[in-house]
Amino acid sequence: MSKEETFQDLSLNSPSGQQDLWRWLYTELRAAILDRRLKPGARMPSTRSLSAQYSLSRGTVVAAFEQLQAEGYTRTEVGSGTYVASGIPEGFLSATRKPATPVGTASKAAISKHAQQFLKDVEVMPAPHSVGKAFRSYEPAIDLFPVDLWARVASRVLRRAPRSLYGHGDAAGYQPLRRAIAEYVGASPGVRCSAEQIIITSGTQQALDLISRLLVTMGDHVWMEDPGYLRALQALRNTGARIVPVPVDEDGLIVKAGRKLAPKAKLAYVTPANQFPMGVTMSADRRLELLRWAASANAWIIEDEYDAEYRYAGRPVAALQTLDSSGCVIYVGTFTKMLFNALRLGFMVLPERLVDAFRSARSIIDLHPPTLDQAILAEFITEGHFGHHLRRMRQIYAERIDVLKTAADEHLNGLLDVVHTGAGIRTLGWLKTWKSDRDATQKVRKLGLEVSPLSMFTVKYEQPPALMLGFAGCNPAELRRGVSILATALRAR
Amino acid sequence: MSKEETFQDLSLNSPSGQQDLWRWLYTELRAAILDRRLKPGARMPSTRSLSAQYSLSRGTVVAAFEQLQAEGYTRTEVGSGTYVASGIPEGFLSATRKPATPVGTASKAAISKHAQQFLKDVEVMPAPHSVGKAFRSYEPAIDLFPVDLWARVASRVLRRAPRSLYGHGDAAGYQPLRRAIAEYVGASPGVRCSAEQIIITSGTQQALDLISRLLVTMGDHVWMEDPGYLRALQALRNTGARIVPVPVDEDGLIVKAGRKLAPKAKLAYVTPANQFPMGVTMSADRRLELLRWAASANAWIIEDEYDAEYRYAGRPVAALQTLDSSGCVIYVGTFTKMLFNALRLGFMVLPERLVDAFRSARSIIDLHPPTLDQAILAEFITEGHFGHHLRRMRQIYAERIDVLKTAADEHLNGLLDVVHTGAGIRTLGWLKTWKSDRDATQKVRKLGLEVSPLSMFTVKYEQPPALMLGFAGCNPAELRRGVSILATALRAR
């Protein structure tokens, strides 16, 4: 204590030794702000005093300060110093998040047998409190989202909306938003549809859940890409579908294999623009083959284009939906990856014959989506901000994958072969010295990085060991720091 | 056309003869604004010219103008006249809503058999475009909601929220909101719980859907109040429950009858504070009896307190949840009736042993609720606006039921015996001269009023003919106008 008393006593915990020092300092200072050891409006200790007090480099302290600033915990006055933000609403100050918990024994005994099956192996994603952590794979660049612009549009919409918009809304979604989406998907992924075919969802997950509940009966076979998107598998399993893992090659899902395994499957789940997690684009031949099969088997296809907007190299292939002459493709999109996760708005483009059933189902399941959020988003799109933001992000993410690839080639040579992906917000790194990607993941996570093992997404068809790395949500400095920590972790066996 | 050309040619459709004239004019003028026949910023025709042009009383024209004004389509400048609002965002201007459609034949052929059962008899609520329509029963007083205050809180929260709040959120809901709700339900309905027991939902409907999916297995018996809340029945039927209608008397659900019909039911759905639709309060004896049964049968109880906040007479009885010693009560609440429908935020208070299962289920079903909406609501509550609004609405709704009752006694004597309810946002009127409340409803709806027949909510136990009348969302003038139209409709057989 005596050492600390020379300076301001913030009672920071000591670094654990396994953590990046800047991250340790950032976490401790944030905790001090949240606990009000550092009060709103108070001056932050100087970088000089902190670096002396805790024997840190100035660069480390500055990195921690930058992160606090980026997240709005502090503000800097030119020529005066850094202060704890005084405007953080009370709620945020005491926000603590519960870590992920598996479904406990008490719950297991209480819930129905059917639900126990449906909750098998569920991993609830923890709600992280920081942004920009390397290599988080499920968030876009939250820190670059134009928050002030969004707040301005929101404030205008909330004030000027007719009062009726505060009342009961449409189960299919707010009509002007549906129209804006029909226009957008028509222009960009080239999906042909009317606004009437669009059902607003609370994101991809709800779309998959609705599809599962309406189109799949217990015992139906469902083709699932293997490796594939785990949460889609969970949603489709809800209604008791028998999941049929279908292997994937460099042209995407191998339709022949699916036909052999389950020719009469009811549904196929695919990510043709940017296969999750392999990152391949489904070839035109495969697309036609898949559509031919679906038409002959009277099956449905879910085309999940969760990140189709981000393409940095190569030519986009026409969406399955545009080639679909028999009305069996359901195109699923989401704004959570294009704007920000917390928004919880996505959409489905349905074949016409499904529209009224989905509208009714949504009405029983949760009445209708939040109208004002939809109205804000509709304005954000029609005023051109959405298109502008996408163009900007496309450029930034293209730079970020370059940064990651360059840093990886320099520092991870012989350890991890990072794929220079031409699309999306995440990529794979092939492990060169580790046999088990789960072991490698454990090691890397201990040093504070967010990575996932490729094997987490395989059901039946094993892949060589690899790590999934998100790059879109991390700035160049974080990516380089991440690569250097990866090098340390993967070298030490 | 010649008559209209003397004035401004708005090409209004002629009144249908069955509609209230002020409502016809309002609808037509609104359509003219939405179609831009009346352009933003343009001066509205004078009340004098309109009344001359369409042979209407000045009072009729003024009523239509007041409604347009209340909904934000026009603004009045003192001493200058009325203008079309120029600030209505583009999207609103072209908003058209699709009327309710039943699930069509095309959809029926396409969806799974299971889903066909689950969509049986679904009536999708139309999204109405106006507010304050007598006697809409599912909206609170939208026109009195403090929109500017909400917009101010929203703008502040959106600007000042830490960036991490724009990222992935907690499946159980935003922690500060859960804490605020725990405090609120502790103080007001007296529900004892920790923030950890609270799961945020998108409203009562999602709560019922989640409960149905997690706790009910196909074939389970479920007690349902008869008459009762139709949408609860639909949600509970989703998972294939066998609904057991249990009769209701002046003390609420008759537990003895339930025990006789299905002693081993898995779940009972009740609305004890203000039975839907009968408006009775469950007596203390019945509450204890129900809890004793649930404990012995190892059953769950859903306590749906959708409008428990609104009590104008009599003493509140302690919530079932507060008397529950065996942890079988799930308390369900919603902000859609306390604030506004479009918000889509509600909550469940769960017994501890259910918390982690519901959290996981929510995560598979739609990941998590929209974080920023939750943060805005949390601020609105903790800053005291929520409590203030509830107190104000309680007073206003108490006045409105008085107005309705007084007008009904005067004009509907011998036709409709309106119950002076002591709680909630709707009441019943017993039909004195009609045998079928469906016939009466049809007649009344033709004159433009929103009413529902009591028989719509009965499954097995018939009730005398009655109409459900919402009063909270209608101002005194609308209520009186509504009563006078009711008198016309019910007199003419």
pLDDT digits (tens, 9 = 90+) for A245-280: 999 999 999 999 999 999 999 999 999 999 999 999
| φ, ψ of residue B46 in degrees (nearest 5) | -75, 155
Same domain, B151 and B253: yes
B454, B427 Cβ separation under 8 angstroms: no
Helix (H) or strand (E) holding B393, with range, is: helix B385-411
The count of other CB atoms within 10 Å of the CB of residue A493 is: 9
User: Is B367–A203 a contact, with Cβ atoms under 8 angstroms apart?
Assistant: yes
A34 within some domain: yes
On whether residue B102 sits in a domain, the answer given is no
| A314: number of Cβ within 10 Å | 9
> What CA–CA distances, in Å, run from A57 to A22, A61, A482?
9, 7, 18
User: 469-488 in B: which are within 8 Å (CB) of A?
Assistant: none
Nearest-angstrom CA–CA distance, B490 and A43: 72
Which positions in chain A touch B357 (Cβ < 8 Å)? 103, 107-108, 110-111, 115, 119
- CATH number for B338: 3.40.640.10
Domain of B379, in residue numbers:
146-383
Is B45 part of a structural domain of the chain? yes
Cβ neighbours around A458 below 10 Å, total: 18
Give chain B's domain count: 3
Q: Residue A350 is encoded by which pair of tokens?
A: 């349905």
Asked if residue B20 is part of any domain, the answer here is: yes
Nearest partner of A361 among A215, A186, A224, judged by Cα: A215
| Same-domain check for residues A369 and A404 | no
Written as six digits, the tokens of A44 are 């932050």
Q: Which of B165, B174, B478 to mutate to test the interface with A (most CBs of A within 10 A)?
A: B165
Q: Which residues in chain B are closer than 8 Å to A196, comparing Cβ atoms?
A: 98
Contact residues on chain A for B175, CB-CB shorter than 8 A: 95-98
Q: What is the CA radius of gyration of chain A?
A: 24
Of A383, A405, A438, the position where a domain reaches its end is A383
Chain A contacts of B33, Cβ < 8 Å? none
Which of these three, A365, A383, A401, is where a domain ends? Answer: A383
Residue A407, sorted as left (phi over 0), alpha (psi -120 to 50) or beta, turns out to be alpha
A70 CB neighbours in chain B (<8 A) are 163
The H or E element containing residue B24 is helix B21-34
The distance from CA A245 to its chain's CA centroid, rounded to whole angstroms, is 23
In angstroms, rounded to a whole number, what is the distance separating the alpha carbons of residues A378 and B90? Answer: 10
Q: What is the dihedral of CA B405, B406, B412, B416, to 10 degrees?
A: 20
Read off the pLDDT of residues B369-406 as tens digits, 9 standing for 90 and up. Answer: 999 999 999 999 999 999 999 999 999 999 999 999 99
Q: Which of A150, A202, A342 minimises the CB distance to B165?
A: A342
Whether B384 and chain A come into contact, CB under 8 Å, resolves to no
DSSP structure string for B189-250: T-----GGGEEEESSHHHHHHHHHHHH--TT-EEEEEES--HHHHHHHHTTT-EEEEEEEET
- Do the chains contact at A162 and B340, CB–CB below 8 Å? no
pLDDT at A121: 63
Interchain contact A124–B (C-beta under 8 A): yes
- Residue A113 to residue B361, Cβ atoms within 8 A: no
Between the CA of residue A146 and those of A436, A470, B398, what are the distances in Å? 40, 21, 45
Torsion angle of the four alpha carbons B146, B149, B150, B153, in this order, in degrees rounded to the nearest 10: -170
Do the domain assignments include residue A331? yes
Contact between B264 and B243 under an 8 Å Cβ cutoff? The reply is no
Q: Are residues A171 and A303 in the same domain?
A: yes
* pLDDT tens by residue, A399-421: 999 999 999 999 999 999 999 99
Instruction: Label each residue of chain A as H, E or C.
Output: CHHHHCCCCCCCCCCCCCCCHHHHHHHHHHHHHHCCCCCCCCECCCHHHHHHHCCCCHHHHHHHHHHHHHCCCEEEECCCEEEECCCCCHHHHCCCCCCCCCCCHHHHHHCCHHHHHHCCCCCCCCCCCCCCCCCCCCCCCHHHCCHHHHHHHHHHHHHHCCHHHHCCCCCCCCHHHHHHHHHHHHHCCCCCCCHHHEEEECCHHHHHHHHHHHHCCCCCEEEEEECCCHHHHHHHHCCCCEEEEEEEECCEECHHHHHHHCCCCCEEEECCCCCCCCCCCCCHHHHHHHHHHHHHHCCEEEEECCCCCCECCCCCCCCHHHHCCCCCEEEEEECCCCCCHHHCCEEEECCHHHHHHHHHHHHHHHCCCCHHHHHHHHHHHHCCHHHHHHHHHHHHHHHHHHHHHHHHHHHCCCCEEECCCCECCEEEEEECCCCCHHHHHHHHHHCCCCCEEHHHHCCCCCCCCEEEEECCCCCHHHHHHHHHHHHHHHHCC
The CA–CA distances, whole Å, from B398 to A75, B192, B386, B482 equal 48, 28, 18, 18
| Alpha-carbon span B434 to B457, nearest angstrom | 18
Q: In the listed set B40, B64, B84, which residue is the last one of a domain according to the structure? A: B84
What is the residue type of A404?
L
Burial zone of A168 (CB within 10 Å; 0-12 exposed, 13-18 middle, 19+ buried): buried
- Same domain as B363, residue B403: no
Whole-number pLDDT of residue B101: 46
B467 vs B457: CA distance, rounded Å: 11
CA distance A249 to A232: 19
**At A31, which CATH number?**
1.10.10.10
Convert A427-452 to b/e letters by CB count within 10 Å (16 or more is b): bbbbbeebeebeebbebbeebbbbbb
Identify whether residues A213 and A266 lie together within a single domain.
yes
Per-residue pLDDT of chain B (493 residues; tens, 9 = 90+): 333 333 456 667 666 555 567 777 877 887 777 667 788 788 888 888 888 878 788 878 887 887 777 656 777 776 778 888 775 544 444 333 333 445 666 677 778 877 776 677 666 665 554 555 899 999 999 999 999 999 999 999 999 999 989 999 999 999 999 999 999 998 877 788 999 999 999 999 999 999 999 999 889 999 999 999 999 999 998 888 899 999 999 999 999 999 999 999 999 999 999 999 999 999 989 999 999 999 999 999 999 998 878 888 776 677 899 889 899 999 999 999 999 999 999 999 999 999 999 999 998 899 999 999 999 999 999 999 999 999 999 999 999 999 999 999 999 999 999 999 989 999 999 999 999 999 999 999 989 899 999 999 999 999 999 999 999 999 999 999 999 999 999 997 6
Q: Quick one: A412 and A352 in the same domain?
A: no
Order of strands across the sheet with A466-470? Answer: A416-418, A426-431, A466-470, A452-453
Chain A residue numbers touching B354 (CB-CB < 8 A): 107, 110-111
Give the distance from residue A473's alpha carbon to the nearest chain B alpha carbon, in angstroms: 10
**What is the per-residue pLDDT for A152?**
96
B468 forms beta bridges with B428, B452
**Contact residues, chain A, for B143 at CB < 8 Å:** 163
Same domain, B326 and B455: no
Q: Which of residues 91-120 of A touch B (CB under 8 A)?
A: 91-92, 94-98, 101-104, 106-115, 118-119
Q: Does A360 touch chain B (CB under 8 A)?
A: yes
- Sign for the CA dihedral angle at A132, A207, B175, B151 comes to positive
User: Same domain, yes or no, for A257 and A394?
Assistant: no
Based on the domain organization, do B361 and B456 belong to the same domain? no
Cα nearest neighbour of A237 on chain B: B364
Render pLDDT for A419-459 as a digit per residue (tens, 0 to 9). 999 899 999 999 999 999 999 999 999 898 999 999 999 99
Looking at the DSSP bridge assignments, the partners of residue B198 are B349
- Output the pLDDT for position A94: 39
Whether the Cβ atoms of residue B339 and residue A210 lie closer than 8 Å to each other: no
CA separation for the pair A348, A195 (Å, rounded) = 11
3-state secondary structure of B375: helix
> Number of residue pairs across A and B with CB atoms under 8 Å?
385
Given a contact cutoff of 8 angstroms between Cβ atoms, the answer to whether B200 and B366 are in contact is no
A31 touches chain B (CB under 8 A): no
β pairing state of A242-249 and A252-253: antiparallel
pLDDT band at A35 (very low <50, low <70, confident <90, very high): low
| CB contact (8 A) between residue A154 and residue B150 | no
> Are A342 and A436 in a shared domain?
no
| pTM for this prediction | 0.81
- Angstrom distance (rounded) from CA B109 to CA B116: 9
As a whole number of angstroms, the distance between CA A110 and CA B330 comes to: 13
Same domain (yes/no): B347, B405: no
Phi–psi pair at A469, nearest 5 degrees: -120, 120
A89 touches chain B (CB under 8 A): yes
DSSP state of B353: G
Share above pLDDT 70 across residues of chain A, in percent, rounded to a whole number? 86
Task: For an interface test with A, give the residue of B74, B163, B205, B371 to mutate (most A CBs within 10 A).
Answer: B163
| Cα torsion angle, B279, B284, B289, B290, sign | positive
CATH number for the domain that contains residue A416: 3.90.1150.10
Give the strands of the sheet with B252-253, arranged side by side: B198-201, B346-349, B329-334, B300-304, B267-270, B221-226, B242-249, B252-253
Inside any domain, residue B90: no
The b-or-e profile of B180-199 (16+ CB within 10 A means b, else e) is: bbbebbeeebebebebbbbb
Q: Is residue A336 part of a domain?
A: yes
Highest mean pLDDT among A69-73, A183-187, B226-230: B226-230
pLDDT: is A125 or A390 the higher one? A390
Nearest CA in chain A to B144: A163
CA gap B324, B287 in Å, rounded: 10
Q: Supply A285's token pair.
A: 């031949």
Please tell me which residue of chain B has the smallest CA distance to A143: B163
Residue A99 lies inside a defined structural domain of this protein? no
Structure confidence at residue B333 (pLDDT): 95
Query: Helix B175-187 crosses helix B371-382 at what angle (to 10 degrees)?
Result: 40
Q: Say yes or no: ipTM exceeds 0.95.
A: no
Chain B CB within 8 Å of residue A341 CB = yes
C-alpha A150/C-alpha A380 separation (Å) is: 7
- The reply to whether B195 touches chain A by the CB within 8 Å rule is no
Phi, psi angle pair for B416, to nearest 5°: -145, 125
Nearest to B84 by CA among B45, B48, B57, B129: B45
The pLDDT tens digits for A78-103 are: 677 888 877 654 444 433 333 344 56
Same domain, A287 and A197: yes
Q: Which of A130, A154, A361 minimises the CB distance to B119? A: A361
Note the pLDDT of residue B77.
74
What digits encode the pLDDT tens for the residues A320-355? 998 898 999 999 999 999 999 999 999 999 999 999
DSSP B246-281: EEEETTEE-HHHHHHH-TT-SEEEE--SS-TTT-PP
What's the mean per-residue pLDDT of chain A?
87
Cross-chain residue pair A344–B366, CB shorter than 8 Å: yes
Q: Distance between CA B417 and CA B412 in Å, rounded?
A: 7
pLDDT over threshold 80, residue A36: no
Tell me if B269 sits within 8 A of B224, measured CB to CB: yes
